[in-house]
Amino acid sequence: MSVPGPWYLALAAMLFTIGAFGLLVRRNVLVMFMCVELMLNAVNLTFVTYARMLDDIGGQVVVFFVLVVAAAEVVVGLAIIVAIFRSRAEATADDISLLSG
């Protein structure tokens, strides 16, 4: 354990911030989805770091569950995106505003 845990936490915080910024700024739905994956990965890195710092395998098990849920989320989300693209040719996040009232 030569690299202290807080360095990993800082790196994960930066990754999370970049992902959140991309989610707020980008309009392409697919790229927004990739930014969500970035944020999930940053949190996974945090969990693994805490698992090492606290000497507890539970953190790694939680990351395992996050991976499974993220895979299921990607599958369903991409199916929704495909369904949206079928009904309209050009779909950015600005175009999908049916629920905005």
Partner 1 sequence: MDWFVFVVSGVAALVGALGVVLARNPVHSALMLVLTLFSVAVLFVAQEAHFLAAVQVIVYAGAVVVLFLFVIMFLGVDHEEEIGKEKLIAQRPMAFVVTMLVLLQVMLLARTRWATGASSVTGVASDPGTNIEKIANALFTRYLLAFEATSVLLVIAVVGTVVLARRTPMSGIRSVQEVDDTPAGPAPTEAAAEAGQ
> Does residue 52 interact with partner 1 by CB under 8 A?
yes
Residues 24-43 that bind partner 1 (CB under 8 A): 24-28, 30-31, 33-35, 37-38, 41
Query: The tokens 């392409």 sit on which residue?
Result: 28
Calpha distance 38→70 (Å, rounded): 11
Contact assessment for residue 77 and residue 96, using Cβ atoms and an 8 Å cutoff? no
Nearer of residues 8 and 101 to partner 1, judged by Cβ: 8
Nearer of residues 10 and 99 to partner 1, judged by Cβ: 10
Q: How far is the CB of 88 from partner 1 (least distance, A)?
A: 9
Calpha distance 91→22 (Å, rounded): 17
